[in-house]
Amino acid sequence: MSNKEQLYQERLNRYMTAMDCGKPDKVPVCFGIGEWAIKYTDYTFQEVFYDSEKANRIVEDMLPDFDVDIFSGGPTLWWPPMFDVMGSKLYKFPGIGLEEDNTFQYNEEEYMKAEDYDDFIANPTEWLVKNFLPRISAEFAEPGSYRATIALIKSSAAFAMFGAAAGAAAQRWAVEYGMVGQFTGFTKAPFDTLGDALRAMKGILTDLRRRPDKVLAACEAIVPHNIYGGIAGPGADTRFPCFAPLHRGAYPFLNPEQWDKFYWPTLKAVIEGLWAKGKRMFFFAEGNWTPYLEKIAELPEKSIVFDIDTTDAKKAREILGGKFCLQGGIPTTLLTYGTPEKVKEHVKRTIDELAGDGGFILAPGGVLMGDAKKENILAAIEAAREYGVY
């Protein structure tokens, strides 16, 4: 076994042990080389988003000194051309509708209207292809037309090219640097699928009063699709969790009765459905989820990895600790406005308070954006190694 293979195995063991609530030799640490890394290069955001070789170069320049157990990825989430060729209205990308050194943004609109509920509930996939795609894609306005067909082929090709390039890069990083990736697969809470992309914030929140039964029926119709989404993909891997960015379940979007009735049952069904197939969810609880911890504790043991962003960390440990692996502990603003000394102090304290008898992964709680500082991130990793030995 080569050194790198051995390193990969050690890190993988730490990750797997922590996810099963066990105590590894060291506290596993998880970071990516995100948008923050771009400012230390000569590249603009636009170049990095559009040219994956440049994005990969940024990662590979830094990886040799990046001693993390779990790698949460490079500076870009997707390759924008797969949206651009569809004439997609969903996003603004750097250099197109935004300055070239800006991150991407989502254009929220009611792409699904209130009167679309019945058709959507009857057959979500058919409704998405026939109605949603033409509405969000200028080049796919007339499905079946020559123009629409070409756009679809180009976009699918771009999606496949991006997937292949990302897969090859991940493989290379595993072999050459012993890097363990964080996820395989992607899913969401059904309420967020409906609320984020289809009905938009005001639409879904007013639907709760204007047409509550439709909201419930639509969320239920989405459940099997979101179970499938979490496990679909190469090899149907079940070692790594699927990524689930969770939105409207954060406090204080919904009142407690609404949360119990509209958000939780179908998210729980997705988690239980995935767990029945051996697939775990990375429960990316962005924002504050403190009021809901007791409910979350009812999930099957070990079926999620719970991310602590602005949730009360001590309460999370008290209520969820031992049942689920907890991840987080480093506030994103500390990595921007703190100093390496302050970051180290914080990491030491966090390990003392949260690492306990295992089942904990040290990581930034939320998304690290372009403002985070490299010296603070490196200090966090260094401190994790210094204080994170069990």
Partner 1 sequence: MAADALSNAITELEEEQVVALVRERLENGVAPLEIVNALQEGMVEVGKRFESGAYFLSELIMGGEIMKDAMTVLEPRLTGASGDYKGNIVIGTVKGDIHDLGKDIVVMLLKGSGYNVIDLGVDVPKEKFVEALKESQAPLVGMSVLLTGCQAAMKEAIDAIRAEGIDAKVLIGGNYIDEVVMDFVGADFFAKDASDGLKVAEKVFS
**Binding residues for partner 1 (CB under 8 A):** 35, 92, 98-99, 102-103, 105, 107, 201-202, 205-206, 208-210, 252-255, 258, 287, 310, 332-333, 336-337, 366, 369-372
Q: Cβ-count burial of 128 within 10 angstroms (0-12 exposed, 13-18 middle, 19+ buried)?
A: middle
> In whole angstroms, how far apart are CA 368 and each of 34, 67, 133, 340?
7, 18, 31, 16
Rounded distance between C-alpha atoms, residue 48 and residue 42, angstroms: 10
Q: What b/e string do you get for 240-273 counting C-beta neighbours within 10 Å, with b at 16 or more?
A: bbbbbbbbbbbeebbeeebbeebbbebbbbbbeb
Rounded distance between C-alpha atoms, residue 172 and residue 312, angstroms: 38
Of 92 and 135, nearer to partner 1 (C-beta) is: 92
Of 159 and 253, nearer to partner 1 (C-beta) is: 253
Q: If you search the block for the tokens 């009765």, which residue do you land on? A: 257
For the chain, the residue count is 390
Q: Who contacts 119 (Cβ-Cβ below 8 Å, separation ≥6)?
A: 127, 131
Min dist CB 184 to partner 1, Å, is 27
Q: 94 with 87: CB under 8 angstroms?
A: no
Min dist CB 21 to partner 1, Å, is 30
Min dist CB 331 to partner 1, Å, is 9
Min dist CB 333 to partner 1, Å, is 6
Rounded distance between C-alpha atoms, residue 347 and residue 341, angstroms: 10
Q: If you search the block for the tokens 């439709």, which residue do you land on? A: 214
Min dist CB 357 to partner 1, Å, is 31
Vertex 99: Cα angle to 78 and 337 (nearest 5): 80
Of 169 and 372, nearer to partner 1 (C-beta) is: 372
Of 52 and 102, nearer to partner 1 (C-beta) is: 102
Of 277 and 342, nearer to partner 1 (C-beta) is: 342
Min dist CB 287 to partner 1, Å, is 7
Of 239 and 295, nearer to partner 1 (C-beta) is: 295
Of 75 and 124, nearer to partner 1 (C-beta) is: 75
Of 195 and 230, nearer to partner 1 (C-beta) is: 195
Min dist CB 117 to partner 1, Å, is 18
Q: Is the dihedral of CA 183, 188, 189, 192 positive or negative?
A: positive
Of 180 and 347, nearer to partner 1 (C-beta) is: 347
Instruction: At 98, give phi and psi (nearest 5°).
Output: -145, 160
Rounded distance between C-alpha atoms, residue 97 and residue 281, angstroms: 34
Min dist CB 135 to partner 1, Å, is 20
Helices and strands in the chain, H and E counts: 18, 11
Residue from 123, 284, 116, 142 nearest 200 by CA: 116
Min dist CB 196 to partner 1, Å, is 13
